Homo-oligomer: A and B are copies of this chain.
Amino acid sequence: MLKYVEIAEKIEQYIIDKDLKQGTKLPKFNDLIKQYGVSKSTIVNALNILEKSGIIYQIQGSGIFVRRNQRIGYVNLIENQGFTTDLDEFVITSKVLLLEKIIPSEEVRSNLECSKDELVYHVKRLRYINEQILCVEESYYNSTIVPYLNEEIAKESIFNYLKAALRLSVGFSDKYLHVIKLSEQDSQILELKKEDPALLTEELFYLSSGTPFDFSRTIYHYEHSQFFAQSNSLNI
C-alpha cells in the first residue's frame, strides 16, 4: 500500500468517524507531517487525492477544510467502478435478460477497437436499486480481454469479477449522456410508458493499459435515478 494512499484513507476515515461537517478545519500541514512521520510531498499527495475526491478543500495560507455536502442516493458520474461501490447504502441487484457471445456490430467494433474475428460478450441486464427498477444496461465486452462470463457472474457485479478474478485494472472511462423519449420496447422493460423521459448513457471503459474492453449503453428510469458530479478548479 502506498503511503500517500494510506494516509488519505486514514484522514478520510477520521472525518467520517468524527462526523466532521463542511468547513471544519483539519490539523495543519506540519502536524500531519509529524503525525504520520513522512515528508511534505507525501502529505501533499494524500491531500490532493482527497481534494480531487471532493472530501476536502485547501486554502493557501489558511488551512485544510472538510468538504462534505453530498446528497445521498445519487449516482456518481465521476466514479468509474460501476455503482456497486457507489451506492453503498443501497441494495443493487440485477436480472440478466440476455447473455450471448456474438460477432460484434460495426458500432461495437469501432468502440472496442476490435475486428470481426474477435467475438464479444453481449450482456443485457435490468438493474434494481432497493428492488425498484434503476436501469436497463446493454454491455459489450471484448472476449480477448474478458475470456469468460456467465449468468452467475452477470447477476452480481461484473466489475468486481473483472477486478478480483481476472485481475484486470480499470484505468479510465468516457461517458456520454443524452436525454431521450423512451421507445415502446424500452418503456416496457422499465415498466414505464412510451415517450416517457429517460437518461441514455454510453460508456467506454479502458484498462490501465489504454485498451478499451467494455462498451455499454444504459437507460435509466427517470423516477428512480439521480446523478451528481463534483468539480474542482483545474490545477490539482
Contact = CB atoms under 8 A, between A and B. Distances in A.
Contacts of A23: 210
Given A80-B232, A234-B49, A177 B227 contact: yes
Copies of this chain held together in the complex: 2
B180 A208 contact: no
Nearest to A65: B210
Band of interface residues on A: 35 or more
Interface stretch (A30-38, A114-122, A126-134, A166-174): A166-174
Contact of A180 (B59, B65, B210, B222): B222
A175 interface: yes
A225 B179 contact: yes
B171 A222 contact: no
B78 A78 contact: yes
Interface of A: 2, 5, 23, 41, 49, 52-54, 57, 59, 62, 65, 67, 69-71, 74, 77-80, 169-181, 196-199, 204, 206, 208-210, 220, 222, 225-236
12 contacts: A2-B235, A57-B171, A74-B176, A78-B78, A169-B233, A172-B232, A175-B228, A175-B230, A176-B226, A177-B227, A178-B227, A179-B198
